[in-house]
Structure 1
């Protein structure tokens, strides 16, 4: 027995068999294969939370560079590939970098106000000309449903 779509109530540990087993110490503290292999080789493994690339404007710049690079003529010459990468890196306008920086700030502000990813994307599109979202954004989200 499992909760619908694996969405267990956050305050329950015994709502379904899956959650019951997942919260048992014998199962929760089991080392993964990755951890075992790395530990055997003397390497530490650190698991970090899911990365949100919209919070880092450098990631958005890198996406722009990759888009420019894909428009270049294909080549198998290492010199051509290196030149294409450097040309693409240098072709990102500073104004685009600044726009990406402001956009990242809007996402940070949206997450601070309690919005999830989908809600944040909607709010940022709606308030594109603003540096931060209005304090009433949560009420607006409720009204739009």
Structure 2
């Protein structure tokens, strides 16, 4: 057994997230989650984002910016936190401006698109993302490293 609690075998990093989570199984792919079914029943829409990929989730980026603004503008007393946490979500230039949130949505979209096309993760994924978000995008043939 390894220090991480595994069997000591090296993981196959070339496998995609869907393969690891059982997404290749036909019956697994065809079943909607209970949250999606509940939202559809009540006439809503549900966007399911990949687990453990916070770079694809604009909500995580908004939370990060709110925490950063609060950290810079608070003395960490309970009273100060109660006052500043709601202020950190205001749509002002130094906080959560509409253009900033739109940028987060675009970043999440590019990450999801890049992951779907290349299946690259880790340090190699950072290099691919930098190349992929450029205005000089590679052709689909060049997406795979």
Q: Secondary structure at the match of 1:54?
A: helix
**CA deviation profile, 1:105-130 (whole Å, cap 9, x unmatched):** 11111111133222332222223344
TM (norm. structure 1) is: 0.55
Larger radius of gyration between Structure 1 and Structure 2: 1
The corresponding residue for 2:143 is: 137
RMSD: 3.1
Residues 1:124 and 2:125 are matched in the alignment: no
- Count of residues in Structure 1 that have an aligned counterpart in Structure 2: 99
Taking a change above 3 Å as real, the CA distance of residues 104 and 134 of structure 1, as seen in their structure-2 partners, is farther
Which stretches in structure 1 are left out of the alignment for 5+ residues?
11-48
SS in 1 for 2:89: helix
Question: Per residue, is there more helix in 1 or in 2?
Answer: 1
Which runs of 5 or more residues in structure 2 are unaligned? 3-7, 14-49
Tell me what 1:93 maps to.
97
CA–CA distance in 1 between the matches of 2:83 and 2:74?
A: 11
The 1:93/1:129 distance shift into structure 2, 3 A limit, reads farther
Map Cα deviations across residues 1-32 of structure 1 (whole Å, 9 max, x no partner).
Answer: 98xx631679xxxxxxxxxxxxxxxxxxxxxx
What is the TM-score when the length of structure 2 is the normalising length?
A: 0.55
How much has 1:133 moved relative to structure 2? 6.3
* Partners of 1:108 and 1:88 in 2: CA distance: 27
Please state if 1:102 is matched with 2:122. Answer: no
Cα gap change, 1:8 to 1:124, in 2 (>3 Å)? closer
